[in-house]
Amino acid sequence: MLGQHRQLRIQVNQLKDGGIFCLALWLAHYLRAGVLHDLLHLERTIEPWDEFIWLWFVIFPAAPLILESQGFYRRPLFPRRRDTLWILLKSCTMATVGIIIVMFPLKLALARAVIILFGFTAFIVMFGHEELMRHVLRSRLGQAQFRRKYILVGDRQEIEHSRRELAAHPEEGIDAVAELDLTTQPAEALVDLLHQHSANGIIVQGEHSKLGEIEKVVQVCELEGVEAWVVADFFKTRISKKSFDEFHGRPVLVFRTAPEASMQRVLKDVMDLFGAAALLLGSSPLLALSAVLIKLTSPGPILFRQQRCGINGQPFTMLKFRTMTTDAEQRKHELAVFNEMSGPVFKMTNDPRITPIGRLLRKFSVDEFPQLLNVLKGDMSLVGPRPLPVDEVRRFNDLAHRRRLSVKPGLTCLWQVSGRNDVRSFDDWVRMDLEYIDNWSLWLDLWILIKTIPVVLLGKGAK
């Protein structure tokens, strides 16, 4: 299955599952307010559903994130039932606890029976849906709709390689119904095979020396109106993801290691804009108080400005509340021997340059809040690799480290919610940044933002 098709299927399932969890909450309220109330003759009535409908806006995005974190969308098409049961049990428990966490500080009076029923209902409805889909996909009708017939094209070795790949992934629903060996058969022979097997498309592999024959094969498919999947592995890359696009009407094979332009990227930009504006507005009293305390307790400017590397290394001026003495940059060379981080980055516990107020601001990451202005300007994102000073980037001893510059830097990222004070190796830091880039999705950004909240509130901030 093409990666684009697989990603689309996951996105559709995420929307569907978010809707199922929302339905489960409504059913739980309906059962407690109506069925159980009448059946058990309960004296206490509960608040109408209209007062809690806003919880849908929490559950709908949160449920797919929880399922994703438990590997629900990475299962094979026909997983073992006990695996599905275990994942759903953990996910529904986490969703139930999440509802409690959301409602407790807000002091909302949703009946406890509704919350418990929500977990059970979500589990039953999700598992019932999974069983129904398993039955449908294994039925004759489901197989007819789901499975696709493809012809393998290339030389004998390439055809065998394609056949092994298809055999290793039967859940993708692709059947190899015929073969065309380009070393012994002309491209025109494909026409009869397409007619004979009513194939949905072809999978063609070939070295660059066979491009002429491959072009003929594609032209045949063009006339027949079937898909042609050309396995374009002429260039042996290790990391780059390949995609086709067009450049002024001409087809282009694109190699990229960063997330491609997509609707998710657009939504990320929208989330950055409105999220940064909302956080600035909501935290304005705290920001004003911090500015006053910095001004009253130490000489120097309120804001610290430094040139940092943005996307693709483009320098920009990053803003922070000043948490150090004004001669901090000059004293940095004196303290280099105490650096606790391997590589070009400087990190030190109990840095003597930090002011008392600065230590408090750092503990709760308040010093980072002015960077919301950088997000509004478009230099940064809410989530992304942390921006490094220009001079530290220049000291990279491994060019592969520069790939972390392929996306916008962010206020928070994967390594910051994974025990950032325990990271001592710059290689580990970069590894987690690249893990974020290679696995990026809007759901991952939302998950990181949610994980950042307790990190900030509990004072697990930067040193």
Q: In the chain, what are the domain boundaries?
A: 3-140, 148-234, 263-457
Taking alpha carbons only, the member of 457, 443, 430, 415 closest to residue 72 is: 443
Say which residues have a Cβ less than 8 Å from residue 214's Cβ, sequence separation at least 6.
182, 204, 206, 230
Is a pLDDT exceeding 80 seen at residue 395?
yes
Q: How confident is the model at residue 127 (pLDDT cuts 50, 70, 90)?
A: very high
Q: With b meaning 16 or more CB within 10 Å and e meaning fewer, what string describes 120-132? A: ebbbebbbeebee
Any idea what the Cα angle at residue 410 is, between residues 404 and 413, rounded to 5°? 75
Fill in the amino acid letter for 47: E
CATH architecture of the domain covering 148-234:
3-Layer(aba) Sandwich (3.40)
Which has the minimum average pLDDT: 203-212, 218-227, 278-287? 203-212
Report pLDDT digits (tens) over 113-124. 788 888 999 999
Which has the minimum average pLDDT: 315-329, 409-423, 424-438? 409-423
Q: Token digits for 382?
A: 């809410």
Q: How confident is the model at residue 107 (pLDDT cuts 50, 70, 90)?
A: low
What pLDDT is attached to residue 261?
72
Say which residues have a Cβ less than 8 Å from residue 280's Cβ, sequence separation at least 6.
287, 369, 372, 373, 376
Is a pLDDT exceeding 80 seen at residue 111?
no
As a whole number of angstroms, the distance between CA 57 and CA 68 comes to: 18
- In this structure, the number of other CB atoms found within 10 A of the CB of residue 140 comes to 7
As a whole number of angstroms, the distance between CA 310 and CA 377 comes to: 12
